[in-house]
């Protein structure tokens, strides 16, 4: 529902008539179940400015910075070791996002 609220706020602020496509960027550590989001999006947009809008999901990679080798690396799990040096001293720097990347409006 917060996604729909954001879409409606953006549409109101910019005088959009309708939204026909939404691109969402979702990271693997966001805690979002993509299939559930797709289903609930269709239900949530009914009767809103985005009614009937197509949803495009952009799944991002999870990144972490390694303290030992001073590199940014791609990780599959939150507590993975560094794939370059096998250190476990990593801090997650990406992959937690859930954001509206882009919207397409009807003219």
> Do the Cβ atoms of 18 and 86 come closer than 8 Å?
no
Q: Using CA atoms, how far apart are residues 15 and 7, in angstroms rounded to an integer?
A: 12
> Do the Cβ atoms of 102 and 32 come closer than 8 Å?
no
- Number of C-beta neighbours around residue 81 at 10 A: 16
Q: Does domain 3-105 have CATH number 3.40.640.10?
A: no
The predicted structure's pLDDT at residue 49: 92
Q: Using CA atoms, how far apart are residues 61 and 59, in angstroms rounded to an integer?
A: 7
Name the pTM for this structure: 0.81
Closest CA to 67 of 90, 86, 46: 90
Q: ∠ CA 6-60-36 to the nearest 5 degrees?
A: 60
13-69: pLDDT as tens digits: 989 899 999 999 999 999 999 999 999 999 999 999 999 999 999 999 999 999 999
């Amino acid at each position: 529902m917060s996604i729909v609220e954001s879409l409606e706020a953006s549409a109101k602020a910019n005088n959009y008539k309708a939204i026909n496509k939404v691109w969402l960027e979702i990271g693997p550590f966001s805690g979002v179940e993509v299939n559930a989001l797709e289903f609930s999006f269709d239900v949530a947009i009914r009767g809103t400015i985005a009614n009937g809008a197509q949803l495009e999901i952009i799944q991002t990679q999870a990144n972490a910075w390694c303290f030992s080798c001073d590199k940014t690396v791609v990780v599959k799990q939150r507590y993975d070791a560094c794939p370059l040096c096998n250190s476990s001293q990593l801090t997650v720097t990406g992959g937690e996002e859930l954001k509206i990347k882009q919207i397409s409006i009807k003219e």
